[in-house]
Structure formats: C-alpha cells, structure tokens
Structure 1
Amino acid sequence: MTAVLTLLSSPDSAVSDNALKKLATFLGVSCVEAELEQFAEAPPAAGSAVVALSSQTLRQGFVGGVTEADARDFFCRRAAKVLVYGFKASPEDARLLQALTDGAVSGVEPTQNSDRRYAFNPVLDRLEIPLAALSWETRETRKASTFTEAAGGSTLIPLVSLNGKPLLALWRTAGTEFFLLADSGIADIDAWVAPSASVRDFYPTLLPPVVFLRTAFRQACWSNPFRSANFVIDDPLIRRRYGFLKYETLLSEARLNGYAVTLGFIPFNHARSHCKVAGFLCGHLDRFSLAVHGCDHTGREFGALDDALLVHKARLALERMCQHQELTSLPFDPVMVFPHGVYSTGALKALKQTGYQAVVNTDATAHPVDCAQHPLALRHLLDGAITAYHSFPLFLRRYPAGVFDSAVDLLFGKPVLLVEHHGYFKAGYEPLASFVRNINRLADGLAWVPLGRALTAHALFRPLGPGRYAARFFTPAFQLRNPAAIRASFLLEKSEMEGGVDHVAVNGRRVDFTVRSGVLACEAELGPGEACRVKVAYRETPTTSCTLSLRYRGFAAARRYLSEIRDNYLARNERLLSLATRLKNVAQGARCRP
C-alpha cells in the first residue's frame, strides 16, 4: 500500500492544507505537495494515488470548458482515494458535489445548533477504527457545515455525522473512493493547548481528517499492534480492607473479568503493609502490581521548582519502595504517579536522573505548574506519551466515566490507562467489570497487564519496506516484540536529548546509536515472534543533597493518618463525612483570613 499523500494545495486553502500536511506527517504518512496543474501533467500513478485537496483548489481546474463531471472522471483515472474538503453553501459547490456523487449529495448547509452530537459509523469497525458506533456530545460556537443528501436514498456512506447529517462521507464510483469532508477546519497539531483546555476541544476538527487518513493508509500509519490496558487505584494501604476496597475480592474479580490493576502505593507507608495480605498479592502478579505514588503524598511535593528537593524526593521514594519490597517480597514498577497530578518540569528531570521509567498522570492535569514557560502543543498530547520535558515519558490516564476518550487513545496507538480511588467500589465491583467489557469492545486483542509492563512494551510501528519496520518507543527500558510472521529488522527511535545518553544495549549487549535533532536511533533484528530488551543508559548527573525538616515530616505523617481515618471510617458514614467536610472548609476559610 502506498504511504504517500499527494496534497494539491492552493493559496485559497493554505491554512487547511498546511494543517492536513502536518497531521498526515504526524501519523506517519509522507506528504507531497503539488499544484493541480502539475498533478494533471504528471504521468498517472496507475490509479493508486491517494490525493487530498480543497473544493477551492478543485474549482480552479474548471477552465477551458472543463466541467465538474470531467473533474470526477479525471480523478477516477488517476487516484484510488480522494479527499475533498472545505465545501461552501454555494451553487458552485452544490454542482460539484452533485457531479462527484451522481446526485447523492445535493449541497452543504451550515449547522445552526450549538449543541452538537458527533457520531461514527459502525462500518468503521471493519477498518479497525476504534471509534466505530460511538458518539460524543459537545457545545461549540464554531461554524460548521454538513452535507444535504438527495431524497430517495443512495449508497453514500456517512462515516462521521454531525447532528444526524453527514460531515465526512464516502462515495465509491468507477473504482475510486471519494471522501468528502464538509468542514474546512482541520486541527493544527502545533497549536498550543491552554491548561484550562482539553484535547476534546479539538475533536471536531481533528477526528474526521484522522478517520480519513487511517482509513486510506491503514497499517502504513504509526500503529500499535500490541494494545494494552491497566486500571490504577490510588492511595490504599495494603491491608485486608481499605475503605471500600477488599484485595481478595478485587483480585478474584480481576481474574474473572480479565483485567489487571495497579496500586498507586504511597512510599511513606512502606513499613505499614500487612505481610499476610502482601503474600496473597504476590500470588497474583500477572494481575496486580505496585507503582510509586508520590513520596509523602503531600499536595504539591512534585510541583516544587527546587531541583535538589525534587531529586531528594524522587530518590527517597525509590528507597522506601525498595525497603517495602524487602519487607513484603512485593515487587514494584519504577513508575511515578504524581499526587493530585501536580508536577513541575523539573520533577520529570529528577525522575529521569534517579532511574524511573515513566510518569502516569490524570489527563485533566497534563500540564506542569510552570507551563507558562513550557507550554504543550496538541501534538504532544496526541503522541504515545508526552516527551516534551527532558525527553521523559508522561502517559495520561482517565477516570472511567465513558469509553469515547479511551477509544481516541486507541486510535492514536496509546495504552488504555484508567484511574480511580477506593470509593469507586462503594457500589461493588460490577461497575468496573462492566466498564472493562465496554473497553474490550473497542479493539480486538486488548491485553490487560500490570502498569510497568504496559508502558515498557509500548511502541508505535510502521512498515519501511519488506521485513523492515520503524518502531518508536518511549521508556528507557523497552521490551521490543516482532509483530511480523517473518524475520524483521527494526529502526528504533526514541525522543532523547543530545549529550545525555551514555550507551544503548540490546539484550545486554551495547549497540551503536545516534542522537540527532532530539531523536535517538539504533537498530535491532528479530525472528518471528521473538522479543528483546532495549535499555537506554544515561550519564550520571551530579546532584545536591537536601534534607526535610522535622516540621515537614510531622505534617506529612499527620496528613497520612488523617487521610486513612477519612477513607476507612468517615467515607463509610455519610453523616460523618459531610460533617468532616464542613469542618475542613471552615478551617481552610479561617486559615485564609488575614
């Protein structure tokens, strides 16, 4: 399959053309720009070309007696797939649409309602698009348009609908597939995303062109053949029961329903686990794992801007987790979960220096506290992991409120990472089992595994030729698996800062590597079904020592014990919890008064 998009551009649609080009390149599709006249003069590509152009660009070809029907026949001779986008509610575009679709589409109409529902056709399931049969609702004031279908029915396939009317539609004729996108707006993946904003704000102009590109190029795009998922529970101690959580019941349900859970364990509690319960958990390491949840779990402990303090906290957390492992025999993954999602860019640098593999943060808190100096662009949030800060991977997780956002994660090749607290199990374990079943319907072969395994095996692949792949990985330690049924070579790539890498090893053997323009590259070769371990080792960085005051340590201890009283006693009594919440608010108000 060709992996080249021929973009026929013109000054009238330069903004949308450029946005589509960047989006295609981001997904792994090469993009060649040409003018319509150049494309017409070039030898036909045996009908295999994939072409995209705006309706304005297409209309420029209507000179010298050329008609709309001639334009359709021209593309049928030269292209297998054609995207035409950015139609206007004008007589000219109405005639163009009627000619392209044999009258199935009669024109374009603006969407008047600001309450909008975007729906994805179930047929997309056959194209391995996880959004198939899903929808999401939003309120927006942006101008949008949809197609008007002619009366009497047709074979037009609305791939994406807006308020029940086609937004992205597919029309097949004479062996060519015409993809018609009513909107001219295409998301710019280099647009900055404000901390108060969300990737969801970009869905209306992001997902329709992505559906086209994924449909047109399939596996030629960056994709993840080893999809994984994990459910993280933050905070609980390892006791027979913590709040509404019982580990014996949880693991029984996990095994019965095929999911895996990770406990966001607070290192402060390293000497407080019950060994009998820990021993039970050791027997379920295929379904259960530990991650590092802060250090003392104070509100902004990793939102500090003091590099020495951040390194001290990161190292102390690891030391405590190692002590916990010695006491209980429970292993842990060197993956950080920031308390309350608060972090600074310096925190990621500290984690990288002290040997962590990754960070997992809730999607609502993707931005660091110093994001004004270090903003995130849409491309950072869509990538397999955010690597904008010190090339250290930050993965985003979501609360189990709905499956649509998880489907978008799968669309971009990300792991499905979910999070909750013990209170989620107040109504029992069936809500989680039901949500897992809904998630599993999004993609075949979704593997629920411990968090560390999900992240260190995560990569995006695309073919470079027969028996050769590019693979982008994200964590310093990476488990590469060959997705092909034949022996294959791999160009391995990772976002990395120049000058910081000491060496790269494959299965313990050092290999040649380069770091250019922020990308580390090395090579590996595997037989069918084989796997290997890739490790990126960093040069040691001198750090400054730091100590925590007795006052701080007393505050951290009090916070932990009070949190446990809340979770184990107050949370299970609505009246007591309500009273405690009111008292807390009164105390905070008094503290805020001068």
Structure 2
Amino acid sequence: MDTKLGAAERLVVVRISPGSSRATHFSRLAESLGAEVIEKRGEGRGFLERIVREARDSADRALVLDVDSVCEALGPEELENIAALIGQFHRPVLLLASRSSRQVGEALQVLTAGAVTGVSPIPQSARVHFPEESRDLAEELATFDYPLRPEARLGLTCDGRVSCTELMHLDGVPAFLRLASCKAGLFVWATPGVFDPDSPLSAELQFEEVIDSYVPAIIFVRHALGDRCWRTRGMGAGLVIDDPLLSSRYGLLDFPALLSSARANNYHVTLGFIPWNHWRTRTAEAAFFREHSDCFSVCLHGCDHTQGEFASADGGELATRIELAASRMRRHEQRTGIQWEPLLVCPQELFSLAAVRAGAETDDVIALVNTRCIPPASAEARVKGSDLLLAATDVPFGLPLLKRHYLRDMSDFAMSMFLGKPPILAAHHDFFRDGPGPTEAFVRKLREMRPDVTWRPLSAMLQELCSTRRVSATEWETRIFADVFRLHSEAEGATTHHVLRRSTPGTVTAVSAGGSGVEFRQVGDSVRFTVRLEGPGPIDIRIERQPRRVVGARLEEGPTYQLGVAVRRTLSELRDRVVGPGLALVQRASRLLQLQLVCAGVIHQLPEQSVSWQLAATLMPIL
C-alpha cells in the first residue's frame, strides 16, 4: 500500500445473500482484531456494483468480496465492471474464494485481470509455510512453517507471467497472495473455511492447527487498517527456569556463568522457585541473587511442587495453597532480602479453572505463566478463539495467562510475536548442558526478528503490556492486563485514552490515574474508564479491588505429607544434581540422602527460627 494514502478506517465485507458463513466469520475475526466492519448483503446485479462503487468513492474503506456468492449472481459483463472498480480502489481489496469450481475460477480470472486462473483442491494438506517474500506483510512468520490438522484445503493456480507476491503456501501450493492490480494492492485468499473467533475451544490445539484459516485475515486487516486495529505495545521477552535452588550451581546450571552471559547479551532470567524450599536458601548464596536483581528475579513455582497441586477443583484448597506459597516467599524475602514476583508457574503445567479463579481473587498472583492457556478438560473456561488473539489470555476472571514455549525451533516464538504475545522461553537446568550458548543464540535470533523487544522482569513487562488501536486522530482505545499499569502516548499533543480491563463484576472499588480518582463503569466483563494525557506521558494507572477470597481449606501439613514432599524434592534434586552433571557424585549423595530427608520431614513442623529449626535449616542445604 502506498504509505502516502494512509490506512483505511473501515472494512466493508460484501456478499450476495445468502452467501456463505465464511464471510460472516471473516467479519467476526476482523472485529476481534479491532476493525470497524460494515457488512453489506443484498441481491440483484445492481446491488454489488453500487456497494463497490460507494466503497471506492469513500476513499477510506478497504473491501472484502465473497467471490463464491458473487460469481453465482453476476455475468461476465458485470464482473468486468466490478474488476474495473477494484482497479481504482485507494485501499486494499481482498477476494475471498471458498470453492474449487469452474464458476469461481472464471470469476477470479476476470477480477484479477487473468493473474489468478482458478482454485484447486489440495487433498489432506498438513503443512503451512510463509515464504521469505512474505516478510513485509507476514512479519515474523516469514520463512517458518507450521503443522496443520490434515484435511482437504484449497490453493490458487496463477498465470506465471504475472508478477505476484505469494504470502502463504499449503504443501507448496500458494493459497494467499498479493497482486499489484489496484493502487493499494489486491489480495486473493483461497480457503474452505475462515476461523470463527466466537467458537468455544476446549484445547489450544484447535486454534494452533488451523492457523491457515486466520493468519491471512490478520495480515490483510493489519495492512489495510494499520493502527486502527489492535497492536501490542510494551511487549517484552522472558526466560523462565523451573525448579532451581538459589545456590551458585544447580545441576547443569552455573549461575555465575549465566550472569556473565545475561550481562553481555542484555537479557533477564526469571527463576521459578518452589516455595517449599524457602528455608533452604543460604544467606551467603542469597547475596548473589540479591545483588544481581537486574539479571535475576524469582517467582512462584507451585507451592510444594506436588503432582497436579493446582489442578484441583477445590477453590478453598487452591486459595489456601496460594496464600501458603506467598507467605513462604514473604518469609524467604525477610530472611534473605531476595524480592519475588507475584507470578505463578504451575508444576507440570497443570492447572484448573478453579486455580485461575483463586489467582484472580488474591493480590499474591498477578499472572499465570504456562505452556497452555486453557485449563484441560474445562468446558466452563469459556475460552474463544478471539481470546487467544490477545496479548495475554485473561478470560474468564481477568487474570492474564502468559504463554511460554520450550525451544524446539524459533517458529513458536515467531508466532507468539506475530500475534502480539510476549515470547517467553521455558527451560530446566538441562537446557544449560552446553552452558549459556543456546540461550545467547535464542536471544540473538529473537532480536533479529524483533529488534524492539525488550528484556525485563515479567511483572514489570506486564505493567506496560497492552493492546491499542486508534479511534480518531486524538483518541485511542487501550486494553490492559494488570491492575497497576503505566500508560504511554506517542503523540506530542493532548490525547484521550479509553481503557478497558477485564474484571469480574463487583470486584473493582476505585480507579486512579496519576494519583487522581477516575470514574469507571462495568460494561459486561470489563471495567472501562477514560484517561486524558496532555503530552507523551507516561501516567500511572491503579485499579483497586476488593479481593473476594474463598474461605481457605485446611491443607494436609502433617509429618507424613511433609516427608512425602521431602522425598519428591530430594529425588528430583538427586536427578538434577547428580545424574545430570555425572555419576561421580552418587556416593556422596547417597550418604547425605537420609540426613536430608530427616531434616526436610521435620522442619515444617517446627516453629520458625527456633533452635531446632535453625539446626535443620543449616544441615539441609549441605547437598
């Protein structure tokens, strides 16, 4: 698109009634991306030409045309007239084709001036690829490919003599491309279905294995509307390492070496610390993490790290478990001086809808960080595709879930950034088998894809993470994901920001901006308020709420339970610290295993800071 023309302000989706559900799904998808959509449905040959002419003359509207419905209603002469109007458009045009038929092929041939000659079936397509030439539009996705649910799909056949930019391939066949047939670009997309963002999902795989049914829509809407659709600001990257004790070395993880690497390559590390271990950090070793908090931060990794401890459906038990985990971290901070972030990484990546509710109803957790954003086997979560298009999934209670990935290649992180989500790497000590080198390579590749992504503690990133879209020359809509937020404006003059934050009705008691109270209202599942900035800002926003704590249940804290936790932790650490580095330490570990189990089993039954507690706490970290 000629940048001098600027972005369109509205999207006109046109189909001949009754048409197909694909045009409807496209409209819903565009709206979930922040687009202002005008749907036009009608009958008769004069209807389509009139609507297309109006869109062309408005000069601020992009056009989406449902070719399937059009080709059945118009003859060759009418199609020629539509093609001539499309060639005069000042904004992008998308031709959406959903069937492989002679009629659709002939219509596309007319509408594209012969560049596209037909739509061809692709049986059992199972792979989507975004070629290098798509980089200007597909952004981070360029050069990557992704697995799809194997099923029949559609591709485009083209006249090789006509220049075009192929944006997406299905098993090597172009399915989405751009032509220079109009001033702002003519896009053609062949797909048997467009993703319905309003459909409920039971698993993220339902979203991830059909990316070919929504990524082209995102590319087109962003290109056509620019900053009038949702784009993420404040995106930061993260590295979360699960399980380590706060010592100079844990398994294959050498913290002094990691510090040198983080400093040299400017990245930050979040340590998923098990609160049960709060008494095991030695004062001398705590100084290292306290003094280098610019590179290391600590967050909650479960509570006792038992199997599925946050997968329970018992809200009272989960609320008590979160409170216990937070109280342990507060005691840890008081004893060691190491501050902690109110983020929760659930052990084994398992959590329930009740755990999300419990986290939303306390100040001790401001976000979950996991490899999945939908609780398993939870139809009540009510997560829709549109929720997974947000920078952070915050349904249904307003607690954001930040998705992280283990490293197999960079494609998952490319997709995260394309969708506006923070790229967060998940790791255990064995990721550092070859030292910090793989981490440095990851950081370098991430910066090559997105030079503007910054590294900082995830809780600090969350306080600036938002989705924004321009409503008018001086008005913006901003969606935030934290109760404490710093709002920025890039404009030099005065701007008005309409802010929304998902929140359970009845929980918010006050909102302030820059220390002054702001009127707010609950609209559906979100709190909305307006903030005016006289310049670039920033201004600090704070949302106050009355936590609706569930009456806590009594957890099993007896000697038998604690001994079981101690056995689990000891065996896990034996695996990490002995089997990982080498078997030479097995003899030493075996001698001390019994002593460690005894100390761990009794320490949670003793008054903290008593003589007996201090003796056990001194003996335990010897390993």
1:476–1:536 Cα contact (<8 Å) kept: yes
Residues 70-98 of structure 1: per-residue CA shift (max 9 Å, x gap) = 22102234552211112543333333233
Residue 22, structure 1, aligned to residue 31, structure 2: no
Residue 355, structure 1, aligned to residue 367, structure 2: no
Matching residue of 1:148:
157
Residue 418, structure 1, aligned to residue 430, structure 2: no
In the alignment, the residues of structure 2 paired with residue 297 and residue 92 of structure 1 have an alpha-carbon distance, to the nearest angstrom, of: 61
* Cα deviation, residue 492, structure 1: 0.8
Partner SS for 1:204: helix
In the alignment, the residues of structure 1 paired with residue 553 and residue 190 of structure 2 have an alpha-carbon distance, to the nearest angstrom, of: 59
Matching residue of 2:268:
260
Matching residue of 2:311:
303
1:487–1:525 Cα contact (<8 Å) kept: yes
Q: What percentage of aligned pairs have identical amino acids?
A: 26
Residue 506, structure 1, aligned to residue 513, structure 2: yes
Partner SS for 1:479: strand
Residues 404-450 of structure 1: per-residue CA shift (max 9 Å, x gap) = 22222222221111211111001221111112222222223111111
Moved more, 368-377 or 469-478: 368-377
One-letter amino acid of the structure 1 residue matched with residue 554 of structure 2: T
Matching residue of 1:343:
351
Residue 122, structure 1, aligned to residue 147, structure 2: no
2:228–2:470 Cα contact (<8 Å) kept: yes
1:357–1:475 Cα contact (<8 Å) kept: no
Matching residue of 1:59:
71
* Cα deviation, residue 168, structure 1: 0.8
In the alignment, the residues of structure 2 paired with residue 502 and residue 21 of structure 1 have an alpha-carbon distance, to the nearest angstrom, of: 36
In the alignment, the residues of structure 1 paired with residue 204 and residue 154 of structure 2 have an alpha-carbon distance, to the nearest angstrom, of: 27
Gaps of 5+ in 2: 1-6, 590-623
Residues 227-274 of structure 1: per-residue CA shift (max 9 Å, x gap) = 211110011000010001111111111121222110011111112113
Partner SS for 2:517: strand
Taking structure 1 as reference, are residues 350 and 225 closer, same or farther at Cα in structure 2, changes over 3 Å only?
Answer: closer
Residues 179-207 of structure 1: per-residue CA shift (max 9 Å, x gap) = 10021311111223333835321212121
Matching residue of 2:38:
32
Partner SS for 1:142: strand
Partner SS for 2:260: helix
In the alignment, the residues of structure 2 paired with residue 371 and residue 88 of structure 1 have an alpha-carbon distance, to the nearest angstrom, of: 35
Matching residue of 2:609:
none
Taking structure 1 as reference, are residues 263 and 529 closer, same or farther at Cα in structure 2, changes over 3 Å only?
Answer: farther
One-letter amino acid of the structure 1 residue matched with residue 153 of structure 2: A
Matching residue of 2:143:
134
Taking structure 1 as reference, are residues 362 and 79 closer, same or farther at Cα in structure 2, changes over 3 Å only?
Answer: same
Q: 1:95 aligns with which of 96, 101, 106?
A: 106
1:85–1:184 Cα contact (<8 Å) kept: no
2:10–2:60 Cα contact (<8 Å) kept: no
Q: 2:96 aligns with which of 65, 70, 85?
A: 85
User: Taking structure 1 as the reference length, what is the TM-score of the superposition?
Assistant: 0.90
Count of residues in correspondence between the two structures: 573
Matching residue of 2:562:
553
1:357–1:476 Cα contact (<8 Å) kept: no
Aligned positions of 1:192-211 closer than 5 A: 192-195=200-203, 197-211=205-219
Gaps of 5+ in 1: 581-594
In the alignment, the residues of structure 2 paired with residue 370 and residue 175 of structure 1 have an alpha-carbon distance, to the nearest angstrom, of: 49
Partner SS for 2:289: helix
1:230–1:454 Cα contact (<8 Å) kept: no
* Cα deviation, residue 20, structure 1: 0.3
In the alignment, the residues of structure 2 paired with residue 84 and residue 136 of structure 1 have an alpha-carbon distance, to the nearest angstrom, of: 24
Partner SS for 1:179: strand
In the alignment, the residues of structure 2 paired with residue 192 and residue 340 of structure 1 have an alpha-carbon distance, to the nearest angstrom, of: 25
In the alignment, the residues of structure 1 paired with residue 550 and residue 128 of structure 2 have an alpha-carbon distance, to the nearest angstrom, of: 52
In the alignment, the residues of structure 2 paired with residue 198 and residue 283 of structure 1 have an alpha-carbon distance, to the nearest angstrom, of: 45
1:47–1:76 Cα contact (<8 Å) kept: no
1:118–1:162 Cα contact (<8 Å) kept: yes
In the alignment, the residues of structure 2 paired with residue 409 and residue 324 of structure 1 have an alpha-carbon distance, to the nearest angstrom, of: 34
Aligned positions of 1:484-499 closer than 5 A: 484-499=491-506
Aligned positions of 1:446-485 closer than 5 A: 446-485=453-492
One-letter amino acid of the structure 1 residue matched with residue 255 of structure 2: Y
* Cα deviation, residue 382, structure 1: 2.4
Taking structure 1 as reference, are residues 59 and 39 closer, same or farther at Cα in structure 2, changes over 3 Å only?
Answer: closer
Residue 565, structure 1, aligned to residue 574, structure 2: yes
User: Taking structure 2 as the reference length, what is the TM-score of the superposition?
Assistant: 0.86
One-letter amino acid of the structure 1 residue matched with residue 65 of structure 2: L
In the alignment, the residues of structure 2 paired with residue 483 and residue 217 of structure 1 have an alpha-carbon distance, to the nearest angstrom, of: 18
In the alignment, the residues of structure 2 paired with residue 436 and residue 58 of structure 1 have an alpha-carbon distance, to the nearest angstrom, of: 48
In the alignment, the residues of structure 2 paired with residue 517 and residue 147 of structure 1 have an alpha-carbon distance, to the nearest angstrom, of: 42
Residue 518, structure 1, aligned to residue 518, structure 2: no
1:47–1:77 Cα contact (<8 Å) kept: no
Taking structure 1 as reference, are residues 113 and 39 closer, same or farther at Cα in structure 2, changes over 3 Å only?
Answer: closer
Residue 278, structure 1, aligned to residue 281, structure 2: no
One-letter amino acid of the structure 2 residue matched with residue 10 of structure 1: I
Taking structure 1 as reference, are residues 540 and 455 closer, same or farther at Cα in structure 2, changes over 3 Å only?
Answer: closer
Residue 390, structure 1, aligned to residue 397, structure 2: yes
One-letter amino acid of the structure 2 residue matched with residue 267 of structure 1: P
In the alignment, the residues of structure 2 paired with residue 452 and residue 280 of structure 1 have an alpha-carbon distance, to the nearest angstrom, of: 21
One-letter amino acid of the structure 2 residue matched with residue 182 of structure 1: A
1:386–1:395 Cα contact (<8 Å) kept: yes
In the alignment, the residues of structure 2 paired with residue 381 and residue 424 of structure 1 have an alpha-carbon distance, to the nearest angstrom, of: 28
Residues 451-504 of structure 1: per-residue CA shift (max 9 Å, x gap) = 111222210011111222111001222222223344422111011121111112
In the alignment, the residues of structure 2 paired with residue 384 and residue 358 of structure 1 have an alpha-carbon distance, to the nearest angstrom, of: 15
Partner SS for 2:302: coil
* Cα deviation, residue 304, structure 1: 1.7
One-letter amino acid of the structure 1 residue matched with residue 440 of structure 2: A
In the alignment, the residues of structure 1 paired with residue 335 and residue 139 of structure 2 have an alpha-carbon distance, to the nearest angstrom, of: 43
Residue 289, structure 1, aligned to residue 272, structure 2: no
Partner SS for 2:213: helix
